[in-house]
Amino acid sequence: MKILVCIKQVPQKDAPLKLNEAGTWIREDVSYEVNEPDAYALEEALRQKEKHGGEVVVITAGPTRSQQVLREALAKGADRAIHLEDDRFGALESTNTARAIAAAIEGEKFDLVVTGLQSDDYGAAQTGVLLAEILGWPHATIIIGIEKTDSGVHLKRELEAGHYQFIDMPLPAVLTIQSGINKLRYATLIGIKQAKMKPMRKVSYGEVEAKLSKNLQRIERLYVPVKQKKTEMLEGTPPEVAKKLVEHLRNTVRVI
Amino acid sequence: MGFKFQGFDFIQFDSLLSEDERLIRDQTRGFIEQNLIPIIEQCNREGRFPRELVRPMGELGFYGATLDGYGCSGISNVEYGLLTQELERGDSGIRSFVSVQSALVMYPIYAFGSEKQKEFWLPKLATGEKLGCFGLTEPDFGSNPGGMRTRARRDRDGYLLNGEKMWITSGSVADVAVIWAKLEDEEAEIRGFLVETDRPGFSATDIHGKWSLRASVTSGLSLQDVRIPAESILPTSGGLKSPLMCLSQARYGISWGAIGAAMSCYDAALQYAQQRKQFRNQPIASHQLVQEKLAWMLTEITKGQLLALQVGRLKDRGKAQFQHISMAKRNNVWMALECARMARDILGATGITDDYPVMRHMMNLESVKTYEGTHDIHTLILGQSATGISAF
Ligand SMILES: Cc1cc2nc3c(=O)[nH]c(=O)nc-3n(C[C@H](O)[C@H](O)[C@H](O)COP(=O)(O)OP(=O)(O)OC[C@H]3O[C@@H](n4cnc5c(N)ncnc54)[C@H](O)[C@@H]3O)c2cc1C
């Protein structure tokens, strides 16, 4: 199987975040890491390759610093990488990111594209699904199990409240992978040293610009939730107060 | 229970690092976070060396990582430094184990060994299939190893070893011991020998009652008429400078390792101070006296990073001298120990328990201050370097 893994670089989960001066995003002087669900998508792709042979290609769209996530993927065993390298790629909304990726892989024949379920920064969970639409391929989301079959793939999806769905799908297809589907590996030191020798193709903004449209979404303002103390007196007879209290706990505070 | 480590980078130190350097640091941090942090307090309580991590660390290439070939990873000295930093952010005992295996066992085989010795031992030591220890210190000779009493006598077509070694990390778990002994001839030169630990006359007894490095094994070795073949000598070892070259390797790693322990203490103290409230329901982090401690740690750790990085860069260019390494080891271990004490103070009573890693680091660092040349011995090395006068 020839598999493409879409990987995004996001701010480190436990890093303390500070807002930028305009209040539209976080300050850039933070540590970055591989988006967690993407790490699982990569691991799954590597495991599929180990079982069935083929090739694992990793791709990211973002500024120069995001090359780090491709290096890490190469160190863990991916065969080659594609970097859509430009600061402007970091500011694209999901639709345009999907368009840029689709443009960058034109002419390649992948059997499978895997992405993480969502990114830990914007959390839109859209890029994979939109990419499938642009490629004209079927897709499935929240995947927690992949088995290759003669006609395609047999998949396990996570639904809500502990329910699962099993589906069969033809290939090529796009799958968005849920964290925890497998156990992540660490790159060996030798793997890290050898990653430098693996091919990394750079794609400039100019090469894909024609395929992009104007961003339709924009972040107006980002702020840290303000803590407020508010006391509200419920009035009425005890049964009325009790009723109001239950309503409040259920609908406003949402704790019951 | 303890806080999740948030990382440490005050002056964009990371921007001084290459992609590979950061990658090695981050991968090691992830491995330690997942595999050592959950068990280390229990290991420390039980005085247990987490042997289950030996092979996984070998698979990642942690042993003899700076050496080229023979199954070793061939990473740079700065990369190796960042690796030891992350190991010691977990625990000094685990870092000690890796330091000994790498700098004190694999390095001398690599530097002073025959091709046959290298081919036999290095690949097995690199995977962790075989473990090693380094026997220099003796009950009566610590800071002054040149006075050692262990002797090697030429005997038939080999050597007969006799002597006692003390405070030997990994002594009783090792398959091979690098034993330093004086040859019994006119020159009485110190030479290194590879001694398989199952040879008759060799025994290792663990030192118990340690309040430090409890997750690492420390043993006494006894060699009574241990017979080894002629090919067990490290052919190009000669004089005290051979073991000192090994120690230089290990000390360099320690100068980074100590930063890791200090980061762990600082991180725990910072998070605790922001959360713990006293007086008018204010976090203790809002008091100037607490902030002074945090600011001190933040500054000293940052200075320590820069010192270690510069020595590492020199080492990668073949320009690091032993007094540079002495400065880094001496300063950074002292700094880390001070951080541990201040962090313990900030944590109040909680600081004395193993709910937080601080007191464990503090106790570990007491050993780190002493081994590989005590703090004061490094003072004398620096003093001699500055004045040209030996004050030992
Ligand atoms: C946990 C642990 C693990 C160890 N692992 C190993 C190992 O794997 N292999 C190995 O060979 N050794 C090992 N050691 C031994 C270690 O290297 C020695 O403890 C160290 O060299 C100091 O020797 P000493 O303990 O005999 O102290 P001493 O040499 O007796 O020193 C005691 C004090 O006297 C001071 N002092 C000594 N001489 C002078 C002087 N000339 N001027 C001023 N002050 C002086 C010292 O600074 C120190 O404060 C280990 C030690 C520990 C604690």
Q: What is the mean pLDDT of residues A156-166?
A: 94
Tell me if residue B372 is catalytic.
yes
Is B24 near chain A, with CB under 8 Å?
yes
Q: What distance in Å separates the CA atoms of residue A200 and residue B14, rounded to the nearest whole number?
A: 23
| Å between B94 CA and nearest CA of chain A | 18
Q: Which A-chain residues 203-222 have CB contacts (< 8 A) with chain B?
A: none
* Helical packing angle, A67-76 and A36-52, nearest 10°: 30
User: Quick one: pLDDT at residue A75?
Assistant: 97
Q: Which CATH architecture has domain B13-127?
A: Orthogonal Bundle (1.10)
Q: Alpha helix (H) ranges present in chain A?
A: 36-52, 67-76, 94-104, 127-135, 189-195, 205-208, 238-247
Confidence of residue A224 (pLDDT cuts 50, 70, 90): confident
Residue A28 confidence (pLDDT) above 90? no
B32-62 per-residue burial string, b: 16 or more CB within 10 A, e: under 16: bbebbbebbbebbeebebbeebbeebbebbb
Q: What distance in Å separates the CA atoms of residue A30 and residue B77, rounded to the nearest whole number?
A: 26
For residues A200, A201, A204 and A205, what is the CA-based torsion angle, rounded to 10 degrees? -90
Lowest-pLDDT range, A100-104, A247-251, B134-138? A247-251
Nearest atom, ligand 1, residue B374 CA? 47
Domain parsing of chain A, residue ranges: 2-211
**How many Cβ pairs within 8 Å bridge chains A and B?**
58
User: Quick one: pLDDT at residue A13?
Assistant: 84
A184-200 confidence digits (pLDDT tens): 999 999 999 999 999 99
User: Quick one: pLDDT at residue B1?
Assistant: 61
User: Quick one: pLDDT at residue B187?
Assistant: 87
Q: Are the C-beta atoms of residues B175 and B54 closer than 8 Å to each other?
A: no
User: Quick one: pLDDT at residue A16?
Assistant: 78
B30 interaction partners in chain A (CB closer than 8 Å): 186
Does CATH number 3.30.750.24 belong to domain B241-387? no
Pocket flag, ligand 1, residue B180 (CB < 6 Å)? no
A190 interaction partners in chain B (CB closer than 8 Å): 61, 73-74
- Is the CB of A189 less than 8 angstroms away from the CB of B60? yes
B141-151 per-residue burial string, b: 16 or more CB within 10 A, e: under 16: bbeebeebebb
* CATH 1.20.140.10 domain range(s) in chain B: 241-387
Minimal Cβ distance to A187: which of B5, B23, B65: B23
* CATH 1.10.540.10 domain range(s) in chain B: 13-127
Q: Are the C-beta atoms of residues B174 and B132 closer than 8 Å to each other?
A: yes
User: Quick one: pLDDT at residue A228?
Assistant: 81
Q: What is the mean pLDDT of residues A213-222?
A: 89
- Determine which of A192, A194, A229 to mutate to test the interface with B (most B C-beta atoms within 10 Å): A192
Three-class SS of residue B251?
helix
Report the DSSP pairing between strands A32-34 and A55-62: unpaired
Minimal Cβ distance to A188: which of B4, B14, B59: B59
Please compute, for residue A137, the number of CA atoms within 13 A of its CA located in the half-sphere on the CB side: 23
Residue A31 confidence (pLDDT) above 90? no
Residue A14 confidence (pLDDT) above 80? no
| C-alpha A60 to ligand 1 mean position (Å) | 52
Alpha carbon B219 to its chain centroid, in Å, reads 16
List per-residue pLDDT tens for chain B, 392 residues long. Answer: 689 999 999 999 999 999 999 999 999 999 999 999 999 999 999 999 999 999 999 999 999 999 999 999 999 999 999 999 999 999 999 999 999 999 999 999 999 999 999 999 999 999 999 999 999 999 999 999 999 999 999 998 999 999 999 999 999 999 999 999 999 988 889 999 999 999 999 999 999 999 999 999 999 999 999 999 999 999 999 999 999 999 999 999 999 999 999 999 999 999 999 999 999 999 999 999 999 999 999 999 999 999 999 999 999 999 999 999 999 999 999 999 999 999 999 999 999 999 999 999 999 999 999 999 999 999 999 999 999 999 99
Lowest-pLDDT range, A20-29, A91-100, B176-185, B314-323? A20-29
Nearest CA in chain B to A67: B19
Q: Which A-chain residues 18-37 have CB contacts (< 8 A) with chain B?
A: 29, 31, 33
User: Quick one: pLDDT at residue A44?
Assistant: 97
> Within chain A, what is the greatest distance between any pair of CA atoms?
77
Q: What share of chain A is helix, strand, coil (3-state, %, to 5)?
A: 35, 25, 40
**DSSP structure class, residue B286:** G
Q: Which CATH architecture has domain A2-211?
A: 3-Layer(aba) Sandwich (3.40)
Q: At the fourth CATH level, which superfamily is domain B132-232? A: Butyryl-CoA Dehydrogenase, subunit A, domain 2 (2.40.110.10)
pTM: 0.91
- Of B331, B292, B288, the closest CA to residue B308 belongs to B331
Q: What distance in Å separates the CA atoms of residue B9 and residue B302, rounded to the nearest whole number?
A: 8
Q: What ipTM describes this predicted complex?
A: 0.90
Q: Are the C-beta atoms of residues A36 and A78 closer than 8 Å to each other?
A: no
Token pair listed for A33: 């890491």
Residue in B44, B136, B374 to alter for ligand 1 test, most ligand atoms within 8 A of Cβ? B374
Higher pLDDT, residue A175 or A23: A175
- Is the CB of B12 less than 8 angstroms away from the CB of A29? yes
User: Quick one: pLDDT at residue A128?
Assistant: 97
Q: Are the C-beta atoms of residues B248 and B199 closer than 8 Å to each other?
A: no
* Helical packing angle, A67-76 and B19-35, nearest 10°: 60
Is B59 near chain A, with CB under 8 Å?
yes
B24 interaction partners in chain A (CB closer than 8 Å): 189, 192
